[in-house]
Structure 1
Amino acid sequence: MSPPEHTPQSPADLASWLESKYSVTPNGFLPSAEPLAVLPDAYYQPWETLASSLPKLLQTNSFRAHVDAELPVLSTSRLQAEQEWRRAYLILTFATHAYIWGGDKPSEHLPPQITVPLLDISRHLDLPPAATYAATNLWNFRTTAEGAPFSDLDAIESLITFTGTPDESWFYAVSVALECEGGNVIPAMISAMNAIPNNDLAACRQNIAALHKLMASIRRVGDILDRMHERCGPDVFYHAIRPFLAGSKNMADAGLPRGVLYDQGDGQGDWLGLRGGSNGQSSLIQFFDIVLGVEHKATENQNSDLKKREDQELPFHEEVRAYMPGPHRRFLEYVRSLPSIRDFALQPMETDEATGEQEDEEDHELMAERGLLRSTFTRATRVLAGLRNKHLQIVARYIILPSRRQQQQVRSGLGQQPGQRNIGLAGVAWREPPQNPVAVPNNDVDGAANGGGAGGGERKRRMSETQLTGTGGTALMPFLKQVRDETVRAGRPDEVAIEA
């Protein structure tokens, strides 16, 4: 299969083409330069004031009152450069989630001060009006050391947070660093996939080399992910940060049965149910999947009421592409149209047994390289599955175990923190996490990730954990385990290849 359009061959031309056509930079899906930290036009100072005051307003439970009484409806007509549109999107999507979740009860109504400009900005950027991964991570950072690469985790901090805690800044910074680290491999993979139609020794060797680069990149991404615990505490994340990342889709149990009304004034408005911010919206991780031919299907637990619906939903990985910046979404579509590394690596090994002819030296060398390509490809899928195992361990530590502690507090009569409600995510009011949480053995992390024991209490606990939803709206542990298993299966020649 030939690519649908000409792809530049030289590294310099390819890099320029990727950035101009798909906004894929030398930093991957991050911008080539730091995001704008302040809107330059003083007209937008009310937005900047809101952004800088966000943690304090949420802590004092006065964010909604401030927006309602003091925030004007500003026009987007004075936004100019793309960086300004992104900055405005960042501010107003954080304001959106702060308004919805920043109180003792969630608000199902968003005022025009937020929605009118946000809807315009979202149309411009081809993104939904919610705190997407692009908002919380891709366009929400600065470096603290001049000239530091965006992969230097120690030199990255967030521009806007809900809580003002170093934990939240670090949580987003980890994603920024891994995006940059992983994005470095994109040109090599594109060039290798474009070489596949040659079906020769050079193509085999180029794909082997690219897969080695990919494995090294994924391992470095995993090393960055392993640093999450250094400055982000599990209880701070679970109780203070995570609630604000929740969306308005499938949140009936939280008090949003219809989603949220985006009020545009004059009696106009639309009810929208949107997913919350999620690393599942990372174009980088989906890029890894596509180049390795990993196919994801809808899990039975993707939504608890899926079978009750007349309209079948798309698998999560396909649906969340609508939550990616438009150029990145189109880039993934382009990559899917390229020749498949999986098909190339796992194609049947040809021999000359039928004709009885002796293989010449060149054929023998090609067969040897194809065997090496196959084994390298299988190793690459296992390395990606290993990254997903790391993610499962993070989920166990930052969501499953804090959830258990919260449940044990309720059972022991300690109850929840004042103003908090259990919505399947965490309490929605900004509160400090419990100072003396009920202890859960640290060595139970693997049990949380992999199922644990089989006693009656254990079965009830595991059933409760399968009902936990991610901020993106999926049934958390079943979904993540399925994704990992699908990654492993992609490396097996007897599995059906992903359709381009």
Structure 2
Amino acid sequence: MPGRTRFSPDHEDHSDQHGFLSGYSISKNGFLPAREPLRRLPSSYYAPWETLLDDLPLLIKERRIRKAVDRMQGLSTNKLHTEEEWRRAYVVLSFLSHAYIWGGEKASEVLPQAISAPFLQVSDHLSLPPVATYAALNLWNFECGGSDFQDLDKLQALHTFSGTQDESWFFSVSVAMEAQGAYIIPVMLHALDSIQERDYLTISRALDELSVCVGKLGQLLDRMDEKCDPMIFYHQIRPYLAGSKNMGAAGLPNGVLYQDANGAPSWKQLRGGSNGQSSLIQFFDAVLGVEHRSSGDDARTKSAVPSGTSKPTPTFHAEVRSYMPGLHSAFLEHISSMKSLKDFANEPGDSDEQRQLWLSFQGATKALGDFRNKHMQLVARYIIVPSRKQNQSTQLNLAVASSRPGRQSESELTGTGGTALIPFLKQTRDETYVTGVKNPTE
């Protein structure tokens, strides 16, 4: 994909937080849009796309999605005008692309030009890769029976691959979590600004509130079981979320071949949608100073900075920022360039204020580590356990490849984002916990 535009604020002062955050496309709902995403593209020119998407679950179930796409005429992106329309087009093409790739007995290594050409153009406009990212599946793919996006019971996914309530609930849980966490963003920005004044009380209170916020996110995550069945998730939903990176066992050893508007082909290996692409969680890491070292690509979660190399592999967390909307990624770059609360909390001193700050910081890192541990337990219920059960499907996809003989080890399971699933999650959790250890040795 093309080089991403780098955005920078006019100044380091975040006192005008509304203006500062809106400049990074961060709304009152955090990284979610200020209002519900478009439900359809307004121009009738795009009716062929929208009609296919309306029928997607049935076309997938009856194995007719590829024939339907193959018959489709290529459409231009010239009739997309507003950013909301570009985002809507990205959602539509993400779902159609993944349905085509994974909607047969074998994965398709070639994405037809009628889909890939506009997908490349839309992705380029949004500074996103042409794959179903977290933004496509969650941030821009929901409707709400009210104005409060935190209310999980009023959320519904606009689109699913399976047509099940389970899948809608799966996406909606993430939407509710993003909305729930929105209020903490300006609170933590104020805490970072307070480092300069050495305002220990303000920072300690912000960290305590962060712990409460992360706890609320964990409570929402606990609700996944209410309406999402692990077996339905594993066999009917998860396969369609996968990308094309590290997916050789699932039938894509070279990735997927795209064609642009001129017919020029290019192979791409891209990570699929995953919660690792949530800007909110990475914001917590950046504020607290949590450092992640894994590339996520190896079962042993090798360091992303191997010895004796001049060009280190980017860490997974750094790499997936290019899978976030461009302005959100730029916001995280800005926050990461600032002095973190870890640096401030680790400064020498033993005053009552400093001791309280450290306790609050330790509590926040523990809360985030506990949240990641809770997520890993969810993965065990929704991926590890189902992967051990016999599957009769002849379709070659991520679920079948993960559960076939020879891939039973937890260390061999691959996530939809292309990571070595369990070892990666364990390392990420442990790196969070160790951040709360006073002056840890490297």
Please say whether Structure 1 and Structure 2 have the same fold, judged by a TM-score greater than 0.5.
Answer: yes
Q: Which runs of 5+ in 1 are unaligned?
A: 351-366, 407-415, 429-459
What are the residue-to-residue correspondences of 1:52-451 with 2, within 5 Å? Answer: 52-69=54-71, 71-143=72-144, 145-147=145-147, 149-199=148-198, 203-264=199-260, 267-298=263-294, 302=298, 312-349=312-349, 367-406=351-390, 416-421=391-396, 425-427=398-400
CA distance in 1, matches of 2:228, 2:296: 32
| Structure-1-length-normalised TM-score | 0.82
Q: Deviations over 1:182-231 (max 9, x none)?
A: 121000101110120222xxx10110111111111100000000000000
CA distance in 2, matches of 1:290, 1:493: 18
CA distance in 2, matches of 1:465, 1:326: 34
Preserved contact between residue 299 and residue 482 of structure 1 (Cα < 8 Å): no
CA distance in 1, matches of 2:189, 2:92: 34
Q: In the alignment, what sits opposite 1:361?
A: none
Counterpart AA for 2:13: T
Q: In the alignment, what sits opposite 2:39?
A: 37
CA distance in 2, matches of 1:8, 1:389: 32
SS in 2 for 1:184: helix
Counterpart AA for 2:270: L
Preserved contact between residue 104 and residue 395 of structure 2 (Cα < 8 Å): no
C-alpha spacing 1:266/1:332, structure 2 compared with 1 (3 Å): closer
CA distance in 1, matches of 2:95, 2:200: 47
SS in 2 for 1:261: strand
Root-mean-square deviation (Å): 2.2
SS in 2 for 1:109: coil
CA distance in 1, matches of 2:246, 2:54: 31
Q: Are 1:6 and 2:12 counterparts?
A: yes
Q: Deviations over 1:149-178 (max 9, x none)?
A: 111000000011101000000000000000
Q: Are 1:15 and 2:21 counterparts?
A: no
- Larger Rg belongs to: 1
Q: Deviations over 1:292-317 (max 9, x none)?
A: 1110002686367979x997521111
CA distance in 2, matches of 1:322, 1:36: 24
Q: In the alignment, what sits opposite 2:53?
A: 51
CA distance in 1, matches of 2:200, 2:28: 25
Preserved contact between residue 365 and residue 433 of structure 2 (Cα < 8 Å): yes
CA distance in 2, matches of 1:301, 1:30: 29
SS in 1 for 2:409: helix
Counting aligned pairs with the same residue, the percent is 51
Q: In the alignment, what sits opposite 1:446?
A: none
| Structure-2-length-normalised TM-score | 0.92
Preserved contact between residue 306 and residue 312 of structure 1 (Cα < 8 Å): no
CA distance in 2, matches of 1:426, 1:384: 29
Report the alpha carbon displacement of residue 343 of structure 1 after superposing the two structures with TM.
1.2
Preserved contact between residue 238 and residue 399 of structure 2 (Cα < 8 Å): yes
Preserved contact between residue 55 and residue 161 of structure 1 (Cα < 8 Å): yes
Preserved contact between residue 194 and residue 338 of structure 1 (Cα < 8 Å): no
Counterpart AA for 1:5: H
Report the alpha carbon displacement of residue 417 of structure 1 after superposing the two structures with TM.
2.1
Report the alpha carbon displacement of residue 113 of structure 1 after superposing the two structures with TM.
0.8
Counterpart AA for 1:427: V
Q: Deviations over 1:57-106 (max 9, x none)?
A: 0000000000101x221111111111100000000011111110000000
